Structure 1
Amino acid sequence: MSAPRTASGIRILVVIAALIIIIAGLKAAAAIVVPFLLAVFVVILVAPWYFWMQRKGVPSALSLLVIVAALLALGIFGASFFTATVNSFVRNLPQYQTILTQQVSEATGWLEARGVEVPEDAFNQALDTQKLFAYARTIAGSVTILLSNGFVITLVAIFILLEAARLPGKIRNLPGMTDRRWDDFLGIVGNVRQYMAMKTVMSLLTAVLVGSMLWLLDVDYPILLAVLAFLLNFVPSIGSIIAAIPGILLALILQGLGDATICAIGYIIINVGVSNFLEPKYMGKGLGISPMIIIVSLFLWGWILGPVGMLLSVPLTMTIKVALESNPRTRSIAFLLSDGVPMQDEQQEKAGR
């Protein structure tokens, strides 16, 4: 084997080993990394408002005070109101489980009375209420942990904002920061900001529509379920499906099969309308990432960082893809992550021709 091939093989092994160490470190430090990442994305969302107020002549101190006050109010409200609501929901889970088990037994009796032979425990095996409500309790616990960290996330975001005015200059003056790398950095921030801003708007619209539908159907906890729809709308492909299950089940338990059917149809109309019509129109035809990579990244980041990793899987993958595009040595890897659309350099070359 020639020396260049040996060196190339060693380099690949070193890169793989480094990736394994980084992934293991992120997984071990998830409790610290997750609030920091959430704070960074919060800052990416609110920073334009901060700089906009400065351009309008508002003093920097006052601009920061307005943003900090808004973040603190939102953090305190979320950590108190929604934590109490989630705890109330968890307390009512045994009652909901009892009602659903009774409904399953009544459905089995109704079918048997009409000559339909139902195998013993067929419904219980198909719809294991204990596992179902244990899963609901787990989700509620995850939401509680996320909301309880809201105040910490807000504080971290505030301290990042305190450096917001000086941070770009510091990064620009780092050793080895060329014009090309600076443009790549701005591209990463811009892409993530655009995606997060538009996805937040679409998720907020989904939450408002879901909450209004559940309120009209007189389903318990419409605000909590709307917040769940808002959060899970950031999870690609499966998020909207997971968010619909608790609402449909509560409608079935509290209102019966008719309203549960209406609720299911409403979820389908809302999610299909927002995801398939509004999002492509205002966010572009695609994210520049292969659909297969989106699914893989969803489970990978979920395994590394937990439920929050699934929420942030797309922006994190977008960041990695743009960073790989900026280096000629890793550009081929970025192309493998893409959806086949020509990358930045190729697009610029075509535009210049």
Structure 2
Amino acid sequence: MEESAEQRSRPHGRTRAAGTRVLVVLACAAITLAGVFLLRDVIAPLAVALVIVVICSPASTALARRGWPRSIGVAAIVVLAYSVLLSMGALVWIAGVQFTRLLRDLSPGGDLAHAAGQLDGWVSGALGPPGADASGAGASGAAVSGLLRLVAGASSAAVGIAVALFLVCAYVVVMAVDAGRYQRASIVFGAGRAETIARIARLNSDIRRYYVVNTVFGAIVATIDGLALWWLGVPAPLLWAVLAFVTNFIPNIGFVIGLIPPAILALAVGGWPLLLGVVAVYCLVNVVLQVFVQPKFVSDAVGLSLTLSFFAVVFWTVIIGPVGALLAVPLTLLARDLLLGGRDDDTVWLRWVSGDRGAIPSSHEIARGSPRENIRRAGRRIPWNQHGIRRRPS
């Protein structure tokens, strides 16, 4: 009787121990995230550089397999990483040129001065005192002055952006050197760290596949949106195409962010018909591709549930700023591997809930095969007779 009572108390003890462990993990995570939030200006460039190096690291691996020296592989990573940064800089430059032209057109005497006056009139009507008059050149000048104040405020962050880019470039070099050394980890440690090395390799592969999927879909969406806006007559279609490409890397809500600026401009230029045309194009292209099609590919590529990927955008944006929206999925994958990297049933269950389809308890794994064969194999493990169910012989 004493042994049976002790056995009955063991599950409750394990439950309490598991609950205590969860509380400890959550407390440590909260402290860590608070530190990341305070150091976000330093950690954000580090995260960007890490993602870029992970994306470019297969070049070094391919060269190492062909017998090239490790220094050549490191140089290949640096060259590819800087090429990615230059491509990003080119997109920013194109967007900046288009934005400057748009400001010039919105200035008094420009081609879109009437649109500026109409926009300022709407804002004054919504926020200004009753009876305020906001028409003509005065309204146009007020709208442009507001835009210029916005540009002046953004220029104060230019120094911070320059410092962040310098840190990214420096991080890329040192991480590329370390990446060349880490490729020998499987040779140095052998089977002793095989599981950890496999997890890191799988994480890197998931990050690369995620950005490949987003780049392909982003190029498709940006091309279609840019051509459609040009055909509809919306000013600066190339600027909005670049914006659509960049916001494509923000899961689920990126298309809304990319829709708002051209929609407002379309309303000012062409009224409600043009606005409805822009919204119809974005709903047809962006909603179908980004909301229904792309998340399916992203979920299959990285093993994250749609709910978790959506929450990750908000969470990492709060923690490390706007860059967190672009790095939400990779950072979530890294956090999941750090917190849920074990193979016990509780950890595997949480990974499965988060969207990892490969998370299967070792005690209930089903051999790969046809669905009929898998069901038959799984049926053998169910104690049918305990429930009075008679299993048909196979």
Which gives a bigger RCO, structure 1 or 2 (Cα 8 Å, sep 6+)? 1
- What does residue 111 of structure 1 align with? none
Seen in structure 2, the aligned counterparts of structure 1 residues 259 and 9 have a Cα distance that, compared at 3 Å, is closer
- What does residue 182 of structure 1 align with? 197
Seen in structure 2, the aligned counterparts of structure 1 residues 189 and 351 have a Cα distance that, compared at 3 Å, is farther
- What does residue 223 of structure 2 align with? 208
Q: What letter matches 2:119 in structure 1?
A: L
How far is 1:14 from its partner?
Answer: 3.4
CA contact (8 A) 1:302 1:310 kept: yes
Tell me whether 1:226 sits opposite 2:241 in the alignment.
yes
Seen in structure 2, the aligned counterparts of structure 1 residues 205 and 66 have a Cα distance that, compared at 3 Å, is same
Tell me whether 1:161 sits opposite 2:176 in the alignment.
yes
Tell me whether 1:14 sits opposite 2:12 in the alignment.
no
Select between 290-299 and 96-105 the one with higher mean Cα deviation: 96-105
- What does residue 116 of structure 1 align with? none
How far is 1:204 from its partner?
Answer: 2.1
How far is 1:316 from its partner?
Answer: 1.8
Alpha-carbon distance in structure 1 between the residues aligned to 2:203 and 2:320: 21
Tell me whether 1:33 sits opposite 2:43 in the alignment.
yes
CA RMSD of aligned residues (A): 4.4
Picking from 232, 249, 252, the partner of 1:237 is 252
Alpha-carbon distance in structure 2 between the residues aligned to 1:338 and 1:227: 32
Seen in structure 2, the aligned counterparts of structure 1 residues 216 and 347 have a Cα distance that, compared at 3 Å, is farther
Select between 316-325 and 76-85 the one with higher mean Cα deviation: 76-85
CA contact (8 A) 2:221 2:245 kept: yes
Q: What letter matches 1:34 in structure 2?
A: A
Tell me the alpha carbon deviations over residues 167-216 of structure 1, each in whole angstroms, 9 at most, x when there is no partner.
Answer: 22258757996211111111111112211221222122212222222233
Structural mapping, 1:46-65, within 5 Å:
46-52=56-62, 61=72, 63-64=76-77
Structural mapping, 1:1-353, within 5 Å:
11-52=21-62, 61=72, 63-64=76-77, 66-67=79-80, 70-71=83-84, 73-74=86-87, 76-78=89-91, 80-83=93-96, 85-86=98-99, 97-102=116-121, 141=154, 148=162, 149-150=164-165, 152-170=167-185, 173=188, 178-275=193-290, 278-279=293-294, 282-283=297-298, 288-328=303-343, 331=347, 334-335=350-351, 337-339=353-355, 341=357, 343-344=359-360, 349-351=365-367
SS of match in other structure, 2:184: helix
How far is 1:85 from its partner?
Answer: 4.7
How far is 1:232 from its partner?
Answer: 1.5
Tell me the alpha carbon deviations over residues 288-346 of structure 1, each in whole angstroms, 9 at most, x when there is no partner.
Answer: 33333233322211110112112222222233334444313561573374248461555
Q: Which runs of 5+ in 1 are unaligned?
A: 109-119, 122-128
CA contact (8 A) 1:27 1:304 kept: yes
Alpha-carbon distance in structure 2 between the residues aligned to 1:17 and 1:317: 18
Tell me the alpha carbon deviations over residues 68-95 of structure 1, each in whole angstroms, 9 at most, x when there is no partner.
Answer: 5624643553565544555665777786
TM-score normalised according to structure 1 size: 0.73
Seen in structure 2, the aligned counterparts of structure 1 residues 64 and 13 have a Cα distance that, compared at 3 Å, is closer
TM-score normalised according to structure 2 size: 0.67
Select between 334-343 and 178-187 the one with higher mean Cα deviation: 334-343
Alpha-carbon distance in structure 2 between the residues aligned to 1:255 and 1:55: 59
- What does residue 138 of structure 2 align with? none
CA contact (8 A) 1:78 1:147 kept: no
CA contact (8 A) 1:198 1:282 kept: yes
CA contact (8 A) 2:209 2:302 kept: no
Provide the aligned length of Structure 1 versus Structure 2: 330
Larger Rg: 2
Q: What letter matches 2:80 in structure 1?
A: I
Seen in structure 2, the aligned counterparts of structure 1 residues 289 and 78 have a Cα distance that, compared at 3 Å, is closer
Alpha-carbon distance in structure 2 between the residues aligned to 1:28 and 1:290: 29
CA contact (8 A) 1:206 1:270 kept: yes
Q: Percent identity?
A: 25
Q: What letter matches 1:349 in structure 2?
A: E
SS of match in other structure, 1:216: helix
CA contact (8 A) 1:293 1:337 kept: no
Alpha-carbon distance in structure 2 between the residues aligned to 1:291 and 1:65: 33
Alpha-carbon distance in structure 2 between the residues aligned to 1:48 and 1:252: 47
